[in-house]
Structure formats: C-alpha cells, structure tokens
Amino acid sequence: MTTIHTLGFPRIGAQRELKHAVESYWRVDQSIDALKQTASALRSQHWQWQREAGLDVVTVGDFAFYDQVLNHIALFGCAPKRFGFGPRLSVDQYFQLARGNADQFALEMTKWFDTNYHYLVPEFHADTHFELDSHWLLDELKQAQAEGHRVKPVLIGPLTFLWLGKAKGHAHQHQHAQHADCCGAPTQADAFDKLPLLARLLPAYVQLLQELTAAGVELVQIDEPALVLDLPQAWVDALDHIYATLRASGPKLLLSTYFGAVDNHAARLSKLPVAGLHLDLVRAPEQLAAFADNWPADKILSAGIIDGRNIWRADLDRCLETLSPLRRQLGDRLWLAPSCSLLHVPVDLAQEGKLDPELKSWLAFAKQKLNELSVLKRALDLGRTAVHQELQTSRAALDARAASPRIHNPAVAARVDGIGAQDDRRQSGYTTRQLAQRERLNLPPLPTTTIGSFPQTDTIRRARAAFKRGELGGSEYHQAMQAEIQHAVSRQEALGLDVLVHGEAERNDMVEYFGEQLAGFAFTQYGWVQSYGSRCVKPPVIFGDVSRPTPMTVAWTQYAQSLTQRPMKGMLTGPVTILQWSFVRDDQPRSQTATQIALAIRDEVVDLEAAGIAVIQIDEPAFREGLPLKRADWPQYLDWAARAFRLSASGVRDNTQIHTHMCYSEFNDILPAIAALDADVITIETSRSDMELLDGFGEFAYPNEIGPGVYDIHSPRIPKVEEMTRLLRKAAAVIPAERLWVNPDCGLKTRGWAEVDTALQNMVTATNQLRQEL
Ligand code: GLN
Ligand code: ZN
C-alpha cells in the first residue's frame, strides 16, 4: 500500500480563527485557556481532515501560536539571553520574543526561504546552550494520540535550525523590529561560525527523539530545507554525523527537503542512516532520476508530487505517469505528499461561495490537496478504474482550463511576440535623459520627495470599507478620496517638498489595487495564508493572460497634479512585485507572466505621461525576494526580472523621469542588476543600515540618481534634523551630491499625520542645511 501524508497543514484555520484568538489574547480580552482551547480545536479539526481524506498518518508539530521556528526556540530552550527568560518559556514569554517588550526588541524576522512566510530568526551566541523543553511538542502529540490518530511528528532538522539562526557577537545591533510588509532582514553577517554549536544542540535533539520513542512514535519527519541552498561544504559534511547520532536515538527518520533540488547531494543522502527521504518533485522534478535509479532497497522515498506552494488543481494523469514506475520499483516504500508543507496555501476552497464555478473548478486549496493525494494513492494501489470518476473530473477541469478563452487572450500573445529588441530600452542613454529631465523639471539640488503613501487614517479605511459594502456611493467615495489627496498635496506644499505624491489614499494594498483592475486576475474571499504571526495575506490569483482594459491611476494622478505647480509623481507597482505577491499561473513560465504584467504597466506609464505627468515611480520592493535559492539560478532570474521592469518603464520620452523604489538593505550582491533596471532615480532603504550600504553603490559607481532613505518610517520615533544631516553628509561622501535625492526609507501609510508632519519638516530643514554646504 502506498502511504500518504502531508509535511504540514495551515494552522490559521479556515476562518483565521487562530489570528483572532491570538490577537484577542494580546488585547487581554481573552484568557490563555481560551487561546489554548481554540488552538486545540484547530489541531483536532486539521487532523480530522487529514484522516477523512485517508492520510495514513496525521502530522503533529506543524502548529504554532506564532511561528514554527519560534516553537523550536522554545522547544530547545535557546531564547536569547538578553530577554533573561531561562530555558522554559511561558506562552507570554514566547510572544515577547516575537513582539518585543518594554526592554527588548523582538527577534528579527525574515522570509522562510523563497516564500512570503516570515519566521523569527534564532539568535545564537558562542556560548548559547540548549535545554530541551519537550512539552512544546509532546502536549500536541498526546492530544493527537488521545484523539486516536496515527501520528508523525515533524521537526526542523538541526542543520536547518542552526543555519537559519544568526550568530551574534558583541557588535552594535540595530534596535528595530522587522516589518514584513516590505522590508527584508538586515544585512549583518554572522559574527562567528555557528556549526560548532551542533555539539550542544544535538544532545537536545537526541533527548527529544528518545522521549518521542517513549511516547510510542515510530517515525519522525525531520525537515532539512537548508539542503536546497548553496551550503558550505563543512555544513554538508556535518550531515553524516548528525544523522548517525539522531538515528541511534530511536524513531525512524524521514528526512524531508523542499523548495528545490538536492540531487547534488544524492550519493550522500542515499547513504544516510535515515528511513527515507522526501523530495520536492514540483519545484525540481528532474532530481528524481538521481535518486530513483539507485535507491537503497530498504528506504522510503516520499514523492512531493502535489504543489504545496500554489493553488492549482493537480494534473493527476501526469502525476501518475511519474508515480506508476516508482510504485512498481518501490512498492510500499513509495510515499506521497505535497511538495512542501501546505502552510503556503489557503485552507479550504469549499468556502469560496463567490468565486465563479469555472475558475473554482481549476483550483485546490490545502484540504482539496489532501484529497488529490488520496486519489493518487487509490489509483496506484487499486488501479485507475477504482478512481475513474475522480480522474475524469480532474481531467475535465484541466482540459477546460487549458482551452478557456478566459485564459488565452490572442491580443496579449501577439503583443508579447511582437516585443522588439528596443522595447525594453529608453530612447537615449542616461546622461542625455538626465539633461532633458533637468531642463523640464528644474529641481533644486538634493530634491526632496516621499515614497508614495501618506497615512492611511481611520477615516480613509472606514470610507473604503463602507464603499465596498455598498453603504457609501461611488461618487461620495470618490469625493472623500479627492479630499484626502487635496489634504496630502497641501501638506506637502506647506512643507516645501519638491516632487509631490498624491498619497495613495484610494489604495488598500499595492498589489491588490492593480490586480483588481487588470484582466487575468481573480480574488478569493477566504484565500488567506499566514505571512507572519497573526498576520495573513490574501494573494490575488493570476489565472490568465494579463492586460489592462482601462487606465488605473491616471484620473487620481491628474487630479492631484491639477492642485499644484510642482511635479506630481505617478505611482505604480512594478511587474516583478505584482508577480511575486500573487499566486501565479503554472501553465507558463513566471517570466512570461512577468512580461505580460510589464506590458500592462507600460500602458499605464505611457498614459500617465500623456496626461502630463513628468515623474513616474514604479515600485519594486519584491525584486530581491524573487531571487532563486541557488546562486547559479540568479543570472537567469535577474535577466528576465530586470527586463520586465525596463519593459514597463521604457515607453516614455527622455524627459519623463522614471523612479523605482526598493525597501531593503541587501543590494551589494545584485548591484549590476539594479543598475540594469536603468531607472532614472532609485529610492532605497538605508537609514537603518546607517548609509553603509551606499558603499556598494559608490564602489560600483552606480550611474543614475539615488535617494537613500534618511529616516526609518517603521519606527514611531521622529528623527531629528541633525540625524538626517549626518546621514546626508555620509551619503554625499559616497554619491556625488548632484545625483542625490532626499526621502524617507519607505511609504508613510502606517504612520500618523502628526509624526509625518514633523519628520518631513525636519527632513526639509536638514536638506536646506546641506544645500548651503554645497
Ligand atoms: N509606494 C508605496 C508606498 O509608499 C511603496 C510601498 C513599499 O515599498 N512597500 O506605500
Ligand atoms: Zn518601501
């Protein structure tokens, strides 16, 4: 019999019950018992679904109040000393690690591999000790056992856990919590070699595995996704010792890898003393050959065959083509699973009452994916006729999708085919454009601007919510937003900023706003996935060829421009970011979809220019996070991603100024690609890294203009004039002043008007001081 299992299930609940329970616990209007009760009910439900779908084991250990990596910090008693907590954490202390407290800033947060999920980064010191606090896993194990399930606990493997942590020295640390909306992790490199910590970490794992054996566990899934990265050889070599040590302590181990190929380690992995290996055959199907050909006769191979990262219904016939020979070869040693944990997809498609039935029939969320596994199992064990009906339904949906006129737009295809070699190039080189733009814009030295959004006040949110519910009419809403624009423009004029923005009051979210107006996009009602902690996002679904039926921002921008003599910056989201923050169609390469989005944005750029807008910003905060996990794959990505950006930006005349904005501080390894965007001006985050990242730009001799953020918008602190003059002088030492702009690190939508007003006032004062010195 084929065994089916999942590497993990979304924990938030089909209705985001966990979010609501956690947040109400934080607000102190719910007791810890109530929170624990919700958590326990969610786990029961998720195990029950796994069982109902016919999974052979249910997965335990994928639950977390906040984050699974934080759970391991609790489990192995390695909270940073600076919190002063001791090895056994209360739930309250657990949350303090995640959110900070009066004395300590929170653990840093960063992206879990190439997903949009953020984990809390463990902090390791040379003297970090680990002390097992097993109840963080065993309580849940006992719950599942008491509910009568066959259980498979899941752990993050020691190699990955260490790799994901940050080695902290005594060096200065930036006291800021990370904000996941737009900003990546700080750049600080590891202060010491973490690998020797294994000697202290492994005994804690051994002890845990022994306790699991004592609790009746036969097999443990141990996740080592770090193996898909470019690891230093010493880390790879450590595998043998790690797994020899862990195997000696009891339960069988299923080593699981995902998000990429591990065939470069095939020989070593086949020989490890583990019971089996899980491979991601969705991301890296080609790696199978390296393993299947010589797979040891006593080992399980878990085929990650259902896409755990996307929301499309699987092509079951194609899965069976891969699986049937494997099944003949491996017999009962073939296991089936989603490619990775289902954490990255929404919970249950059945709730989507408003999605049209056709589109809905093309999709599968976590719960539906469990059923797909079950169909595959039955097809392999009992023969395809046993699941004739299910296969038929799946085939029909797939055929309908492939043929649907909603997906294929011949005009878009023709346009993509017709892209000429010059279409992703501006008419002239940068120097020529710079002259033309200076003549047209006539800006002072060190021009001041902002990144786009102004505070999204309660009034704005309420108006939008009322409009969406139909309680506020279209023209009333329009007027309310115009009033906001008017306010933002008059504030900026009073402050004396040079290039103004309209403030983005009409936008809920920088991707959703555009997705809602582009053809080829759909929106779900409950398609939430966890982003970090209690925060969830609902990514749009790109199901078909993308085009822009009508202008999306022109009227608002034109209105804003009509209120001022100063240049009004048009504000758009770039193709790579729209792609990166959506569920993307799987029937064509991502690069192709990016090209289509780029053409749609290009239309908007051209229309803005025709409407008299002289400065247009195309935001690409997700440009860097699209980078593949393996460096060898970077050039190809950077090539098509930069090209998509240029395609969106290059339809304009020389004297129209294109800006881009990226808010993270890791640039140096991709600077040539950033330069290849050929934006006239780039604004970036730098205040938190104290302008240090500019060194890279200086050395590289970044040719175009640059606005290094002079204040951290993530902090409620209002920066003083002197802080900003200091940063500006530092910037001017690296970048010639005639190419410098002055702006905050990112958009201001999360701040209040009072702080924004003072902060920008200080920014303008600092700029004026610097201008005197020029
Ligand atoms: N223009 C956007 C804003 O100001 C940019 C947001 C971002 O970089 N994430 O809000
Ligand atoms: Zn930003």
Ligand 2: distance of its center to the CA of 746 in Å?
A: 4
Q: Mean pLDDT throughout 377-404?
A: 97
Q: Answer whether residue 768 shows pLDDT above 80.
A: yes
pLDDT of 439: 98
Query: Rounded to two decimals, what is the model's pTM?
Result: 0.95
The amino acid sitting at 94 is Y
When the pLDDT of each residue in the chain is averaged and rounded to a whole number, the result is 95
Ligand 1: distance of its center to the CA of 746 in Å?
A: 6
CA 133 to each of CA 69, 76, 84, 136, 495: distance values in angstroms, whole numbers, following the listed order: 14, 6, 17, 7, 55
Q: Of all atoms in ligand 1, which is nearest to the CA of residue 183?
A: 9
Q: Answer whether residue 172 shows pLDDT above 70.
A: no
Per-residue confidence band for 191, with pLDDT thresholds at 50, 70 and 90: confident
Q: Mean pLDDT throughout 751-761?
A: 96
Q: Answer whether residue 187 shows pLDDT above 90.
A: no
**Nearest ligand to the CA atom of 747:** 1
Q: Give residue-wise pLDDT tens across range 674-694.
A: 999 999 999 999 888 888 888
Q: Which residue has the tokens 């190419």?
A: 739
- Give yes or no for residue 455 CB within 6 A of ligand 1: no
Least confident window among 7-21, 31-45, 64-78, 659-673 = 659-673
Question: Tokens representing 708?
Answer: 């290094």
Ligand 2: distance of its center to the CA of 619 in Å?
A: 8
- Do 266 and 667 contact (CB within 8 A), yes or no? no
Rounded Cα distance between 622 and 537, Å, is 15
Query: Is 246 annotated as a binding-site member?
Result: no
Q: Which residues contact 233 (CB under 8 A, 6 or more apart)?
A: none
Q: Answer whether residue 182 shows pLDDT above 50.
A: no
- Give yes or no for residue 182 CB within 6 A of ligand 1: yes
- Give yes or no for residue 714 CB within 6 A of ligand 1: no
Query: Is 20 annotated as a binding-site member?
Result: no
504 φψ region: left (φ > 0), alpha (ψ -120 to 50), beta (else): left
Ligand 1: distance of its center to the CA of 110 in Å?
A: 18
- Give yes or no for residue 621 CB within 6 A of ligand 1: yes
Q: Which residues contact 242 (CB under 8 A, 6 or more apart)?
A: 157, 158, 159, 198, 202
Query: Is 179 annotated as a binding-site member?
Result: no
Q: Give residue-wise pLDDT tens across range 24-58.
A: 999 988 899 999 999 999 999 999 999 999 999 99
Q: Answer whether residue 388 shows pLDDT above 60.
A: yes
DSSP structure class, residue 743: B
User: Strand runs (DSSP E) across 434-561, as ranges?
Assistant: 519-522, 529-532, 535-537, 541-547
Question: Annotated catalytic sites, by residue?
Answer: 714
pLDDT of 170: 58
- Give yes or no for residue 746 CB within 6 A of ligand 1: yes
Q: Of all atoms in ligand 1, which is nearest to the CA of residue 749?
A: 10
Q: Mean pLDDT throughout 554-563?
A: 98
pLDDT of 716: 82
pLDDT of 692: 85
- Give yes or no for residue 239 CB within 6 A of ligand 1: no
DSSP structure class, residue 178: -
**Nearest ligand to the CA atom of 663:** 2
Question: Counting runs of H as helices and runs of E as strands, what totals does the chain give?
Answer: 27, 21
Q: Give residue-wise pLDDT tens across range 62-121.
A: 999 999 999 999 999 999 999 999 899 999 999 999 999 999 999 999 999 999 999 999
Which among 450, 499, 504 is the best mutation to test ligand 1's pocket, defined by most ligand atoms within 8 Å of the CB?
Answer: 504
